[in-house]
Amino acid sequence: MNTKVIKLDPVFPDRDKLEEAAQILRKGGLVAFPTETVYGLGANALNEEAVKRIFLAKGRPSDNPLIMHIPDAGWVERFTTDVPVQAQRMMEAFWPGPLTIVMHKAAVVPSVITAGLDTVAIRMPSHPVALELIRLAGVPVAAPSANTSGKPSPTTAQHVIDDLMGKVDVILDAGGCYVGLESTVVDATIEPPMILRPGGITPEDLQRELGSLAVDPAMGKKLAEDITPRAPGMKYTHYSPKAEVLIVEGTLDHIVEEIHRRLAVYEAEGKKVGILATDQTCGRYGGAQVISAGNRYQPETIAQNLFAALREFDDRGVDIILAEAVEAKGIGWAVMNRMIKAAGYHIIHCG
């Protein structure tokens, strides 16, 4: 397949170019597009054949449901059987934005999107390109992250090109994504609503809005521990670069010390080591392969860079990535959730 890459201004996207992509969506084609979280791989959510093509292009297991993207909260009623009060509250507070709400699905939603579940995950993105594209398409757009299944989600068009060139009709390139991690997924079919996946909207923000909030007990647990996550996607090893990832956790000085110690050991074994550091520490590792993920006291900066850094280490061909843990507060919680998955739960505690 010939993939067309179309460059767009992220704030004032050219309408004719967007219309071209919208038409491809309407006709059943695949369009990768930027959202405020990560790039998505979109298809007309009401066209089963088109949705199936998403699973093929990504190599995604068919038991992992997709998020339906809409351009207007008013569309929710068409695709759900009821809108719980707490869902309404969240839509008003956080849409458009990085929040996905799970509700009971209406019959018009094809089961290929929901992987046979009786619920559907819906999100209204805030990125002007995403919003305008979906609005012009005039149909809801099913879109998972636009990466090959299992790889870190794409936060630039180049990441999408690396994974999906030749497998999709169009890639809309409007630069980097602001949040850098996927949306928070909240199940609003239960009371209190439950976070199934941490993401761009923090638990603190949700708590403030909802009063009470639950977290999927399977969160942060290895699948071997035998609790099935309510979001089917959370059971897969996601976000994994080719390199092995080890997270080092502790006080900052102990982290740096432990990374130095391991760096020496692995290098003596002839391994190529990458260090995922922070602005506060990246000067402390001498001549090693170091990437700063951002400012550890502003976790949103780390959220923005994390996936790109993991992909960059792969490009550099490192065998092992030693990653500094950050505080799991605010969006730092989502950062650590992705890091821990990338590391296959391999965490070293020190100090």
Interacting residue ranges for ligand TXA, rule: CB under 6 A: 35, 37-38, 40, 64-67, 98, 100, 102, 114, 117, 119-121, 123, 125, 143-145, 182-183, 185, 196-197, 230-234
Taking CB atoms, the residue at the shortest distance from ligand TXA is 233
- Give the count of beta carbons closer than 10 Å to the beta carbon of residue 299: 25
119 touches, from ligand TXA, Mg ion, none (C-beta below 5 to 8 Å by class):
ligand TXA
40 touches, from Mg ion, ligand TXA, none (C-beta below 5 to 8 Å by class):
ligand TXA
Q: Near Mg ion by CB under 5 A, which window of 28-36, 67-75, 137-145, 260-268?
A: 137-145
Q: Near Mg ion by CB under 5 A, which window of 84-92, 139-147, 165-173, 295-303?
A: 139-147
183 touches, from Mg ion, ligand TXA, none (C-beta below 5 to 8 Å by class):
ligand TXA
DSSP string over 321-333: EEEE----STTHH
Whose Cβ is closer to ligand TXA: residue 54's or residue 322's? 54
CA distances from 97 to 87, 94, 179, 185, 285 (A): 14, 6, 10, 12, 37
How near is the Cβ of 142 to ligand TXA at its closest, in Å? Answer: 9
> Sign of the C-alpha dihedral, residues 107, 112, 116, 119?
negative
Whose Cβ is closer to ligand TXA: residue 52's or residue 260's? 52
Whose Cβ is closer to Mg ion: residue 145's or residue 155's? 145
How near is the Cβ of 144 to Mg ion at its closest, in Å? Answer: 5
Q: Which of 64, 43, 39 is nearest to 163 (CA)?
A: 39
Whose Cβ is closer to ligand TXA: residue 201's or residue 245's? 201
Could you say whether residue 145 binds Mg ion (CB under 5 A)? yes
Separation CA 323–CA 343 (nearest Å): 9
Q: Which of 48, 46, 42, 7 is nearest to 22 (CA)?
A: 42
Count, residues in the chain: 351
Residue 327 · residue 299 · CB < 8 Å: yes
How near is the Cβ of 236 to Mg ion at its closest, in Å? Answer: 9
> Token match 């068409």: residue?
78
Tell how many helices (H) and how many strands (E) occur in the chain: 11, 16
Contact residues for Mg ion (CB under 5 A)? Answer: 145
